[in-house]
Amino acid sequence: MNGIVAQSMREKGMTYKINFGLTLPLLKSIAESLPKEKDLAVALWNDKAVRESMLLAPMVCPPEEITAEEADRWIEDAPYCEVADFCCKYLFCRMHDAARLASEWIGSENKMKRYAGYQLLSALLIDKSEIPAEYHANIIEKSLNEWHSHAVIYTASAASGFIKRALQNKSWAKEIQAETAAWRHSEDERRRKHPKLPTNTNYAVRFFRKAEHYYPIFFAHRTKVANFVTHEYRYARR
């Protein structure tokens, strides 16, 4: 048990009933020793009182055996962003209809679903999984609007993370550029003055630094957001 990690999480508002504070390497080690069975994964997931049980569930669940309806329920049940992150990174991104799920979730009124949708899209890009072109327009529109509105800090952070990763792909960057080009004629003054999104990955960081001027609320809290979303673990970046 890691009391320091557990205490740190409680201070950030993550009040699991039982929290052993296990870190990612330990969770991975435990998952490797367990059989990859859906029944076990479901049993672990249903033990919602224990943080580690919910985190291990997606790590031992065979992706080919979970349905879209079950994935929906898991995300709706996720108590914190950390749990949604594990589901997206270790399970949902390996489902055959992951792109469709993500495209649907980012349009949901459920905040956790929207957050998970963007995290799932980022996971797909990291794994270099194909996202069918039929979903691109919806994904780009929703992610830019989510980031632009920053109405919900953690969903805006997830949308921003997806955009950053998408900009590292020339095809995605070109489509994002085309979408934001229309912003110059928007009635929204902030959109009209929005810095031009780059098509070259070398300018991605420069762009987001410049964007701080237009989105002070989001960027003023980015450290807090990073701590809340990742809980000081960088597993989402691996």
Task: For residue 18, give the 3-state DSSP assignment.
Answer: strand
pLDDT tens figures, 31-56: 999 999 999 999 999 999 999 999 99
Phi-psi region of 231 (alpha: psi -120 to 50; beta: other; left: phi over 0): left
- Segments making up each domain of the chain, as ranges: 1-61, 62-237
- The candidate with the shortest Cα–Cα distance to 163, out of 194, 131, 198, is 198
Give dist(CA 19, CA 122) in Å, integer.
27
Which pLDDT band, with edges at 50, 70 and 90, does 209 fall under? low
**Confidence (pLDDT) at 197:** 55
| Ordered DSSP codes for 56-87 | HHHHHS-GGG--HHHHHHHHHH--SHHHHHHH
Closest to 130 measured CA to CA, from 97, 176, 162, 159 = 97
Cβ atoms of 63 and 88 within 8 Å: the answer is no
C-alpha span between 120 and 126 (Å, rounded): 10
* Contact by Cβ (8 Å): 98, 122: no
Residue 23's nearest CA partner among 215, 168, 233, 179 is: 233
Give me the chain's average pLDDT, please: 82
Name, in order, each residue with C-beta under 8 angstroms of 139's C-beta and a sequence gap of 6 or more: 102, 103, 106, 121, 131
Pick the more confident residue, 191 or 49. 49
- Per-residue pLDDT band for 192 (boundaries 50, 70, 90) equals low
- Once rounded to an integer, what is the mean pLDDT over residues 209-214? 52
Query: What are the angstrom distances between the C-alpha of 135 and each of 54, 58, 97, 98, 102?
Result: 30, 25, 12, 11, 9
Tell me: pLDDT of 75 over 90.
yes
CA 122, 81, 38 angle in degrees (round to 5)? 80
Look up residue 171 and give its two tokens.
């095809």
pLDDT tens sequence across 92-117? 999 999 999 999 999 999 999 999 99
Measure the CA–CA gap between 53 and 74, rounded to whole angstroms. Answer: 13
Which stretch of 55-59, 72-76, 222-226 has the lowest confidence by average pLDDT? 222-226
- The per-residue b/e assignment along 104-126, b for 16 or more CB within 10 angstroms, e otherwise, is bbbebeeebbbbbbbbbbbbbbe
